[in-house]
């Protein structure tokens, strides 16, 4: 049995079932102003979910997009959602100009240079987006540095982990960047587990690790690991994206809510959730795992892992390091 901390080469604080990476801020205890960049399908759905269930930790939602009509549409639509007897129950949604994007506590990067055609079934569409989206995030990271931005930078756009690295290379500190793509993989694995008794153990002991993509690692049960079953569930979870695309629709609703809104809100609350963080010291990468923010830093779950499971995570980690 091995533990996840063996892959981390920087300074950590060991605990019985976790380890802590110092330097991350605990964001709970007050409400935060969040700015969402790009109000496409993902950004709009994410803003809707945060407005509906984030009032305990979010004071205001800023929406930013190069399309002024899109901003006008979403500002009106979202602010016209209210409780019957409490029009002020939800955070206010306000338009934000690009020059003011970094006047906030957390930027949520949902921008994309384009989504591959639905007919593309022979490739990982997330990786097709890498080059163009990397150029986008390079520009915004540079703008954040010029603005003296000291808040959090949350990446939702695909491919999440390489784009987190691009933000780091652009000058944003590693402990202010987190990627939010893994939450929906946990949700998709649970979806299949609820429908097939063979995978029912995932609902009580399952975990996901790694990227939001083909190198995903699903463990059917962290305490009683079954390698064959876990690999089968991994394949199903990764292919869930394709299954939705085959209906003729883009699979953005569950990612925007499970990976984006709900995971970001749990992060702000200091609760356990799935997201990517810088992992492995100077020669590291962004790796997804179960974690939460604490007063000491980022706490990462560190349970004993079956050697076969650890090997799968390590392979994903090595491959992610090669994606520059």
* Mean pLDDT computed over every residue of the chain: 94
pLDDT, position 323: 82
Query: Would you say 318 and 42 are in contact if contact means Cβ atoms under 8 Å apart?
Result: no
Within 10 A of 89 (CB to CB), how many other CB atoms are there?
A: 13
Q: Are 266 and 272 in contact (CB under 8 A)?
A: yes
Interatomic CA distance for residues 240 and 243, integer angstroms? 5
Give pTM, 2 decimals. 0.95
CA triple 63-187-24, angle to 5 deg: 60
How high is the pLDDT of residue 27? Answer: 83
Those residues of the chain that have pLDDT short of 50 are none
pLDDT value, residue 309: 98
- Phi-psi category of 122—alpha, beta or left, where left has phi over 0 and alpha has psi -120 to 50? alpha
Identify the CATH number of the domain defined by range 29-182+267-277.
3.40.50.720
What are the boundaries of each domain within the chain?
A: 29-182+267-277
Residues 35 and 15: their CA atoms lie apart, in Å, by: 34
Residues 199-224: tens digit of each pLDDT: 999 999 999 999 988 899 999 999 99
């Amino acid at each position: 049995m091995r533990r996840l901390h063996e892959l981390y080469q920087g300074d950590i604080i060991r605990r019985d079932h976790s380890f802590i990476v110092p330097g991350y801020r605990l964001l709970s205890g007050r409400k935060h102003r969040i700015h969402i960049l790009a109000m496409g399908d993902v950004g709009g759905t994410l803003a809707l979910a945060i407005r509906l269930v984030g009032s305990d930790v979010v004071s205001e939602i800023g929406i930013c997009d190069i399309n002024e009509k899109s901003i006008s549409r979403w500002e009106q639509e979202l602010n016209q959602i209210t409780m019957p007897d409490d029009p002020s129950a939800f955070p206010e949604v306000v338009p934000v100009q690009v020059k003011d994007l970094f006047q906030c506590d957390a930027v949520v990067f949902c921008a994309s240079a384009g989504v591959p055609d639905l007919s593309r079934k022979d490739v990982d569409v997330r990786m097709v987006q890498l080059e163009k989206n990397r150029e986008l995030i390079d520009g915004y990271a540079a703008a954040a540095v010029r603005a003296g931005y000291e808040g959090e930078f949350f990446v939702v756009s695909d491919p999440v982990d390489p784009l987190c690295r691009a933000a780091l290379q652009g000058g944003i500190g590693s402990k202010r960047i987190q990627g939010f793509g893994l939450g929906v993989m946990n949700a998709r694995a649970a979806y299949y587990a609820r429908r097939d008794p063979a995978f029912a153990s995932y609902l009580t002991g399952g975990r996901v690790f790694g990227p939001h993509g083909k190198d995903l690692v699903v463990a059917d049960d962290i305490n009683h690991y079954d390698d064959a079953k876990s690999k089968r569930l991994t394949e199903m979870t990764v292919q869930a994206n394709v299954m939705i695309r085959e209906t003729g629709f883009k699979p953005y609703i569950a990612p925007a809510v499970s990976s984006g809104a709900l995971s970001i809100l749990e992060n702000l609350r200091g609760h356990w959730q799935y997201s990517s963080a810088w992992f492995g010291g100077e020669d590291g990468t962004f790796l997804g795992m179960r974690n939460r923010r604490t007063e000491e830093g980022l706490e990462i779950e560190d349970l004993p892992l079956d050697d076969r499971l650890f090997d799968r995570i390590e392979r994903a980690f090595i491959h992610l390091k090669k994606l520059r």
